[in-house]
Amino acid sequence: MKLKNIFKGVCLLSMLIAFIFGVLVKKGVIWVTTPFELIYSVKGVDVSSYQGDIDWNVIESQGISFAFIKATEGSTFNDRFFQQNWENASKTNIRIGAYHFFSFDSSGKTQAKNFIRAVTKVDNMLPPVVDVEFYGNKNKNPPSKEHTQAILNNLLEELEAHYGMKPIIYATRSSYQRYIKDDYKDYDIWIRNLFYHPYLTDRNSWTFWQYSNTKILKGYKGREKYIDMNFFNGSKKDFEKYNNPSEH
């Protein structure tokens, strides 16, 4: 009986510890992926209107080398802080790129037009990003791979033709498995994984990794207190050369 009670106590304690750990991770008190900051030297942020007014000089001073800034969504939506962020961030040494939130519900060509209208080319900009993830009820009722790839292919082609460089595809673990895996081998991947080091079995590696969505930095005042953090998969010298013809 004593052993049985001890076993129950250990199980309950383990469950309590696991619950507390999960809460602390979710609230950003503990960052499971933070130790990888010792491995990857090039860090960046991604932002949207949720971060509000951003002082990009302050952001840069915290060791930030790049930033992906939300520009558009679907065929009509424009992030209200994009132009302000694009202009102000371009005055720093941060390398900037813009991202588009992919819509399963409108054509790739009209989505591309929306992005192209919003995002002017700047020197040494990062490739445009197409953010493919589920929204609304799409996770429970995911569109077919055929339907999604037809839209995505048109969008990627239009962006590449305009900007002269292949876009980056951003994906969560679930959207990657359903729509990207085993295809799009010529495109760089920006993968989201907040819990462990990502490993893509269908290609050599990822190029960018969103490793945290609960970091707090100085330099922004918005309704969201957290900011997304990302790694570049390479050294600072590699990053200087990345998609930069002047460095080749």
Q: Counting beta carbons within 10 angstroms of the beta carbon of residue 69, is it exposed (0 to 12), middle (13 to 18) or buried (19 or more)?
A: buried
For the chain, which residues make up each domain, given as ranges? 1-30, 33-247
Q: Are 148 and 126 in contact (CB under 8 A)?
A: no
- 50 compared with 13, residue with greater pLDDT: 50
Return the pLDDT at 35: 83
Return the pLDDT at 244: 82
Which ranges of 72-119 would DSSP assign to H, the alpha helix?
82-89, 108-118
Superfamily of 33-247 according to CATH: Glycosidases (3.20.20.80)
Q: What digits encode the pLDDT tens for the residues 139-194?
A: 999 999 999 999 999 999 999 999 999 999 999 999 999 999 999 999 999 999 99
Residue position matching structure tokens 């001073």: 61
Return the pLDDT at 24: 45
Residue among 75, 208, 51, 63 at smallest CA distance from 129: 208
Q: What digits encode the pLDDT tens for the residues 56-95?
A: 999 999 999 999 999 999 999 999 999 999 999 999 999 9
Above 60 in pLDDT, residue 112? yes
DSSP string, 107-122: -HHHHHHHHHHH----
